[in-house]
Structures are given as structure tokens and as C-alpha cells.
Structure 1
Amino acid sequence: MITTKQFTLIHTDIYNIFISKEIFEPFADQKMSRVKVKTNHQNKTIEFYAAVKKDKMSGDYKMMFSKQKQKELELSLGDEFTIQLFEDTSKYGVDMPEELEAVLMSDYDAYTIFESLTKGKQRSIIYGVLRFKSSQQKIDKALIMCENLKRGNHDPIKMFKLE
């Protein structure tokens, strides 16, 4: 499994994390564009999955770094933080919520349709379910999503709404 040593960066951009090509090279050589990320700042640690793209200006690599993640780390521009990259070995490029997995396992037709979608659409659905707080909400939205998939409604905006 490809992984980097933990390295230190300075938070210089409110939208992205920039990674030197020397550090990201082992992933790029294997044509990997998704990684699992572990970041630390002041005794706070978060892990997440991210897409990494080559920055056309510098030749280095960058990944989006949401304001929510920055807030979780209590990270401000100019702060130093540590980061480590790991090969993404997950099936979907994000952890599947238990509730969605259980609903898909109980509905073979919806599962088959879900598996036929692109990886990006699958991740969009997973993130759509993850945004709900309670387990019951996740189950309810997963059930609605399954019905919409079977009706042929793959529109991410309408995916979690009854029609």
C-alpha cells in the first residue's frame, strides 16, 4: 500500500491543500487520483477522502479542503499542520454509511442500479446520505433514494425527495 510519511504544511489557501510533486509522485506514478488523508493540528485529527489534481500553474498537486474540515481542525490561514496521505483502498472512495448499506442490501434492484452508476454518482449518493445526522433520517433518505433509482430518477438534487 502506498503511503507518505507525515509531513508539515502551512495553511496558505482557503480552498485547497497544495502537495509537492515529489511527495505525491508515488501516487501519480500509479495513476491514483484519490487518496485517504489524515491531518493533525493542535491535538485535533481528522481523516477524509479526497481527489487530488495536478495544479497547472505550479506542477504540484492540490486537493479541496472544505471550510468545515478547517473548522474541525481549528485551522486558520498561516497555521502549520501535519498531513499524511494513504492509498485509497475503499470501494467507493468514501466510507459507506451502515444505514445506506443495509437498505441497499435489502433491495436487490436498487443495489444493482447503484452499482451500475459511475463512482462519482455513487459518492454523491453516499455523501447525500451522510449529511443527515440521525440514523433514522439516513435510513429514511436511503429508502427514498432506492425508490427514485428504480424509477429512473438519477438527478442528485431530487434523489432524496418523494415525488
Structure 2
Amino acid sequence: MKSKEFSIGLLDQYHLYIPCEIAEPFTASKQSRVKVKATFKQNNIEFYAAIKKDKNTNDYKMMFGKRLQQELGVFQNDYFQIQLFEDTSKYGVDMPEELDAVFKSDHEAFTIFEGLTAGKKRSIIYAIIRIKNTQSRIDKALIMCENLKRGETNPMTLFKI
């Protein structure tokens, strides 16, 4: 499933307004998480997001934080193109190679990881993705695996020695 490409601007500092005709086919099929392709001038980015319905206005919106705004190169009054796609990823975000390799070598930690909520899994994956250096990603993944095996599941302390 995918939407048509459409023009959009920031609803407020951190959100995008998603028109009902675009959002409802996804939400009706119980797919509130989507893959997004955004284009502005020569910049293209892809990311995963959740479509949420605003209880007060019945409008649909999506988080679009400062990091994504900077990557795409947009400001508050800019309009850009986006297209939504069905999220076919296992975790709602792509698994980094380094984390996948560590999990393949530590089945016990992977089993514990699989038992976590979808949101905690995504938090862990995003924490690893934010690390730029490959070796640092591996090191943090190893620390996280050891902490999982000790029973630690709080994403705030999971990466601490």
C-alpha cells in the first residue's frame, strides 16, 4: 500500500498534518506506522513514523522532529513533497547491521529483546542508529545485550556500564 505523493508543510514546530484521504487507508487497515519518503529541492530522506489522530480536531498528524527537518533542509514556512508507504519492516524501523550481528552472536540477548514491547525495541534500535561510528555501535550493542541479560530493560539505563 502507498499513498500518492503530496505537498505538505509543518503543522507546528514538530508535526506534519496528514490529510484524511491520505491517512485513512492506512489507519483503516490498522497500519498506523508508515515508511515516509520526503523530498525538498535536491534532498531526499526516508524515515518511519506513526500516524496519530488528534482527539480534539479529528485531524491526522505525524511527528517530524528537528533532526529530520535539518536532514531535509526545511524550515517552518517551507512546503515539500512526501509519500507514505506501508511499513513492511519487522520492528517499525530498519535494524542496523551492527546490532543484527551482535544479536546473531548472542541468542540469549536476542530472545530477551524479542520479548520486549514494540516501542522498547524501536527505542533500542534508534539509540544504536544515532551512533555514527561503527565500532561504537558494536560496543554499545554489546553493553546493551549484557544489560538485557541482567534484567535491565529501561532504555535510559540500558546502554550504561
TM-score range, shorter chain: over 0.9
What's 2:39 paired with? 40
The aligned amino acid for 1:156 is: P
The aligned amino acid for 1:5 is: K
Match of 1:123, SS state, is: helix
1:108 aligns with 2:114: no
What's 1:121 paired with? 120
What's 2:66 paired with? 67
What's 1:141 paired with? 140
TM-score if structure 1 supplies the norm length? Answer: 0.96
What root-mean-square deviation, in Å, do the aligned CA atoms of Structure 1 and Structure 2 show? 0.9
TM-score if structure 2 supplies the norm length? Answer: 0.97
Runs of 4+ in 1 over 3 A off after TM superposition: none
Q: Percent identity?
A: 59
Partners of 2:8 and 2:50 in 1: how far apart?
18
- Is the 8 Å Cα contact of residues 98 and 137 (structure 2) preserved in structure 1? yes
Partners of 1:26 and 1:131 in 2: how far apart?
31
Q: CA deviation at 1:156?
A: 0.9
In the alignment of these two chains, the number of paired residues is: 161
Q: CA deviation at 1:56?
A: 1.9
- Is the 8 Å Cα contact of residues 152 and 158 (structure 2) preserved in structure 1? yes
Match of 1:75, SS state, is: coil
Give ranges in structure 1 of 5+ residues lacking alignment.
none
Give ranges in structure 2 of 5+ residues lacking alignment.
none
